[in-house]
Each structure stands twice: as structure tokens, then as C-alpha cells.
Amino acid sequence: MGYHWVSVDDLEYEERPPKLGEGTRRAADLTTAVELKQSRARLWRYPPHSTGRRHQDHAQEEVFVVISGTLTMLLGERPERVDLGPGGVVAVEPMTPLQMRNESDEEVVVFVYGSPPVTEGADFLDDVELP
């Protein structure tokens, strides 16, 4: 078949271990749900005041699209803070350090799309202070 679809209401979310004192982030695997072959995708839900792991992907280019809330991204070696509201989009090239954060009092929902569809090949980095 040439297409696959899923309703956001039918997605199953996997909990990700929270950092000390933070709420639990959840991710839905869209790669499997819509049978992607050449890329990867997830829908992330970040509770208020939660952070993802700072990392840099070796080969994967990633695109982040904010669905709701305000996403704070820390981008680059000397991180630049970029705040994105609903409809905001940022593309990150391979080997660029990045971190998703929710610095707000509301949940953030973000669609993340990457290619090629590799799951290995990332360096995990120490957190940094907000610029």
C-alpha cells in the first residue's frame, strides 16, 4: 500500500525516565505507526519544567515542529536559546548539539522527524545552563 495513517487519539505513549524533580516525558512512535522506511518520527509530550537529554546525532538531520505550548531548544556547542510556539519549526544538522526543554507551566507537544532512520550514533552531552 502507498500510504499509512493514524489518529493522534490512537497513539500509545511510552514514558521516558524523568530527571530528578521533573515530570515524566512521553513519546509516541510514529515510525512504526505509519510504517516509515526512510525516516523516523515521534510525537513528544513534555510536562511543565522538564528537559530532554542534550545530545548530538552523528548522521541524522532532525526537524522539530511545535504543536502546542512553548518549546525551548538549546542549539549549538555554545548553546543558543530558541523559544518556539505553536507552528514554530527548527531543523538541526547532524553533529549539532541540541536539547529540548519545557521551561513553561504548560505541557509542550512536539513532532520530531529525522532522516536517515538511524537509532544509534549519538553522543550524549552534559546539560548546560540556560543562556
E runs forming strands in 1-131 = 13-16, 25-29, 40-46, 50-51, 55-57, 61-68, 71-75, 80-84, 89-92, 98-102, 108-115, 122-124
- What CA–CA distance (Å, rounded) separates 35 from 3? 9
The predicted structure's pLDDT at residue 23 = 96
Q: What is the pLDDT of residues 21-47, one digit of tens each?
A: 999 999 999 999 999 999 999 999 999
Q: What is the pLDDT of residues 17-27, one digit of tens each?
A: 999 999 999 99
State the virtual CA torsion across 83, 84, 90, 94 in degrees, nearest 10. Answer: 40
The predicted structure's pLDDT at residue 58 = 96
**Domain spans in the chain, listed from the N-terminal domain onward:** 13-115
Q: Produce one character per residue of 51-78: b if its CB has 16 or more CB atoms within 10 Å, e if not.
A: bbebebbeebebebbbbebbbbbbeeee
**How far is residue 119 from each of residues 12, 94, 102, 127, 130, measured CA to CA in Å?**
19, 13, 24, 21, 27
Average pLDDT, integer, range 52-67: 97
Q: What is the pLDDT of residues 95-119, one digit of tens each?
A: 999 999 999 999 999 999 999 998 8
- Give 69's DSSP letter: S
The pLDDT confidence band at residue 131, using thresholds 50, 70 and 90, is confident
Is pTM beyond 0.85? Reply is yes
In CATH, what number does 13-115 get?
2.60.120.10
Report percent pLDDT > 90 for the chain: 95
The predicted structure's pLDDT at residue 44 = 98
